[in-house]
Every structure is written in C-alpha cells, then in structure tokens.
A and B are shown apart, each in its own frame.
Chain A
Amino acid sequence: MADAYSILVVDDNQLNLKLIKKVLTKEGYITLLADNGPDARRIAAQEHPDLILLDIEMPGEDGFEVIKKLKNDAATVTIPVLFLTGMSEVDVKLKGFELGAVDYILKPFHSQEVLARVRIHLKLSIATNSLVQDQARKLRQVSRAQNAMLPKPEDFPDAGFSVFYRPLEEAGGDLYDILNISNQITGYFLADSSGHDIETSYTTASVKALLAQNCTPVYSPRESMKMINDVLVEILPREKYLTACYLHLNRGTRIMTLVNAGHPPVVYMPKGKKPFFIKIQGDILGMFSDASFGMKRIAVNQGDRFFVYSDGMVESKEKKISWVTGLQGLLSMFEGVDKIDLADVPNILISRLFNGDPMPEDDIVLLCIEV
C-alpha cells in the first residue's frame, strides 16, 4: 500500500477544519489541523506535510504572514501552499501568489473542488520532486566524473603528495592536478574557481585539459600559466575566473618553482625547520589577457614539505573572515606536522583547523607535497 499523503489544514474556524478533515480523510489523506499561524508553522516544520491548505483571514498571525514565514524557512519552503479565502479581490489573490502560494480556493468552497485542487497540486508536487531527484542524480554523475578527474596519491607514487578534497556542492569549484612532466619533473596545480555551480565543473575539465597541453618541458612554469590564461580569457564566461598556484618540482636540479595567480600563499616547511609563507604576487587566471604571474624558485632538499590550499580553508563569509585575516593563525596548525606521515597530514591539519566546528561554506582542498 502506498504511503498516504498528509495535508495540513489551517483555519481559525473549527467548523471549516472539521469539514475539510472529513472530506480529505474519506479520500485516504492524513490530515493535520491547526487553528492558528504559529501552530501551523510548528506542525509544518515537524511533520513536513505534502501540502498545506491555509486560511488567510485569521486573528493574530494571518495567512499572509504564515506563508511568508513558511517560505523563509528551509524546512518548509518547498511545501506547496493553497490558500483559502473568502475575499475574491484580485489584490488578495495576487498577494498570495507573490508570497509563494501555488493556488487558492474561494470560500465558500465545495468539497469536491477542494479534493480536485488538492489532487492537482499533489500531482504537480510529485512531478516537481521527481524532476528535482532527476537533477540531483545528474549532479551526482557530474560529481563522480569530477572526482574521477582528480588524481589520487596511489596513482602517482613518485609525486609524493597527499590531499584533502571536499566540494561544497555536487560540482565543486576547487581543482587540483598532478602532472608528470618528465621523469625528473612533477607539476602540482591547485585552483579555485569563482562559483561552485555546474558551469564551474566544466571549467574544471577545461583547465585540466589545458594543463596537460601546456605544462610540458618546453615551457617554463610561468609560460605554461600564461598560455593557460590566454585560453581561459577566451573561453570563460564573463565574471568567471580562477585563483591558482602552480608548483614545478625538478628533482634533478632540486629546484621548486612556484607560480602564483592571485592565490593564498603556499606554506613551505623545510625539513626540521619552522613553516613559513611564500608570498608571491600575481594576477588571477582567466580575466586579463595581459595578466602577469609572480614566480619564485627555491632550492629544496629531500623531506621538505609544501602545503597548497584553497581559500575555503582560511576564510569564512559567515564569520566575515577574509583569507588575508584567516592566514594569521594558520602557521601554528603546522606544529609537529613534519613528524607525521605525509598520508595522514591533510586530515590532521583539517581537524586541527576546524576543531570540531562545522566546515565552512566553501569548497576545500589541501594539497601536501613532500620533496
């Protein structure tokens, strides 16, 4: 037997409540009743009915106020609301629609009309939910495809890296890649796209392809970034851009070259020494055709570690912390990290950083590299 649909009926008149309850119950619906606005909102949030029939003219909190609050509450925003009104004025109906009602029933109503409208709107709601489920399924496919594009440490045993990656939504705006440029040279790239939407995930795929095409032994790291930038300026939608950091490690020469494109500074931790930021200026990627990117070359030793991360690790829009401010406490999190196995470092740093607090409202990626 299919689950019965539940309908919350809100009316200050007990007779109307009883009447609608009788009509709906006879047709197999579960009815929830409220004779005032606050009770209606509480029941809606707790029971999440499939539909709400809401009287407009009620003492205290009227139906308009109730629907406004229902639509402002994440727990009740998607529940379709039909309002019941004895007022046939256009203004009243329009106000109801503007506030988010899907339909109205004029009082006095006939029970068959109530049933017909309830059925129609339940069907519409089922269709909408099915559409939402379908879209969610497609987004999950994008998510899986995007995850499949992100390299895993076991796939690059010589690259010496570990990673923490958490997209905010199904299609994340953060991207990292590991590039086997030659036997001696490995490239590490991390970028943060503006936005987290599905369009951003396609940007991710484009950037990955551009990295493969342009990060070759023929070009210097800065030239690679410049060429990628020139293509992105052409293909990215307006107002879309990336901040990025590219690390180019030549094990033969033991030189790490860093290129920065408007990204938070890399943390460098020479083996056995304290960590510090490598601050390099640079324009963002994909916005300006004449962009310039700062570059720094560092002589490194075996066991040195580099930490590249997205701004989601250090900034919080909710707490109004920009990444510039957020950097201040970051270095203290690295204490003793040099003694921890590289594979465990990302999770330990993330748990130290958020200390049990909810993760921020942004994508997060942390790439840990050991020379």
Chain B
Amino acid sequence: MDFHNIESFIGVDTHEAGELGRLLAKTLASDLEKIRRGIRDNDLESIAFVAHSIKGAAGNLGFERLSEPAAVMENRARAGRLDGLGELLLEMQALLEELEGSLAGQ
C-alpha cells in the first residue's frame, strides 16, 4: 500500500499525499488497537463501528485493499460473528506496515 497512490486518486501533490498518508497511518494504528481490544472483550459493536470508519477513510483515499477487509470485518461484527476477525486484523496490520514503509521511504 503505497501512499503515492493518493496523489493520482485525489489529485494532490506528493507533499499533501504524504500528509494524508501519515494521518491515515496514525488513525489506522489507533483503530487497529481498538479492534484488538474489541476482539479481546467480545465487543462486536465497537469493532463494527471502527471497521466502518476504516472502510470509509481508506476508500476515500483509494485504498481498496484496506477498505475491503474492513468491510468484511464490519459485516461480520454486525452479524454477531467473531470468527475470522483476528485474520482480518492481521491483514490490515500488514497493510499498515506497508503504508508506513512507503512513508518512511519518502
């Protein structure tokens, strides 16, 4: 997940894309932590709310690879299912690391 994708998707320069990419990374790190706590506490409502937020924010920046697992997680949580949420969390965690990597190489 490369922050440079934001440039073409929204029509901003590299500096602005970096700014939005860093904000996404920061927000995502915090949101993933909330999901981790939600899984631990069986708090499906919080998981659905946070996954919904990630889905929208990632989609708005053109990161479908992130918004898709977030959408699956939201739907599962709303359906009352905890199964597979851990895997989805790991998938999103990996995407966050990718994004951080691209930002570090800026």
Measuring CB to CB, which residues of chain A are less than 8 angstroms from any residue of chain B?
A: 12-16, 18-19, 22-23, 57, 59, 86, 107-111
Contacts and interface: CB of A to CB of B under 8 A. Distances in A.
B11 interface: yes
A111 B56 contact: no
Contact of B10 (A19, A57, A59): A19
B16 A13 contact: no
Given A22-B12, A23-B10, A13 B56 contact: yes
Given A15-B57, A86-B56, 16 more contacts: A12-B53, A13-B27, A13-B56, A14-B23, A14-B27, A15-B24, A15-B61, A18-B23, A22-B20, A23-B10, A57-B52, A107-B55, A108-B58, A108-B60, A109-B59, A111-B11
A323 B32 CA distance: 67
Interface in B40-67: 49, 52-53, 55-61, 67
30 contacts: A13-B27, A13-B53, A13-B56, A14-B23, A14-B27, A15-B23, A15-B24, A15-B27, A15-B61, A16-B57, A16-B60, A18-B23, A19-B10, A19-B20, A19-B60, A22-B16, A22-B20, A57-B53, A59-B49, A86-B55, A86-B56, A107-B59, A107-B60, A108-B67, A109-B59, A109-B60, A110-B9, A111-B10, A111-B11, A111-B60
A107 B56 contact: yes
A118 to B, nearest CB: 15
Contacts of B61: 15, 19
Interface in B62-103: 67
- List the 9 closest pairs (A to B, CB-CB), nearest first: A108-B59, A107-B56, A15-B57, A86-B56, A108-B60, A111-B10, A15-B23, A15-B27, A13-B57
Nearest to B17: A22
Contacts of B16: 22
Contacts of B53: 12-13, 57
Given A22-B12, A107-B59, A86 B49 contact: no
Interface of B: 9-12, 16, 19-20, 23-24, 27, 49, 52-53, 55-61, 67
A108 B58 CA distance: 8
Contacts of B58: 108
A109 B60 CA distance: 5
Nearest to B64: A108
B59 A15 contact: no
A339 B10 CA distance: 79
B75 to A, nearest CB: 12
A222 to B, nearest CB: 75
Contacts of B11: 111
A23 to B, nearest CB: 7
Contacts of B49: 57, 59
B44 to A, nearest CB: 15
A14 B58 CA distance: 12
Contacts of B12: 22
Contacts of A14: 23, 27
Nearest to B74: A86
Contacts of A86: 52, 55-56
Nearest to A20: B60
Nearest to A109: B60
Contacts of B56: 13, 16, 86, 107-108
A108 B27 contact: no
Q: Which of A14, A15, A59, A110 has the most CB of B within 10 A?
A: A15
A111 B60 CA distance: 8
Q: Which of B55, B60, B61 has the most CB of A within 10 A?
A: B60
A134 B58 CA distance: 45
A107 B52 CA distance: 10
Contacts of A22: 10, 12, 16, 20
A8 to B, nearest CB: 18
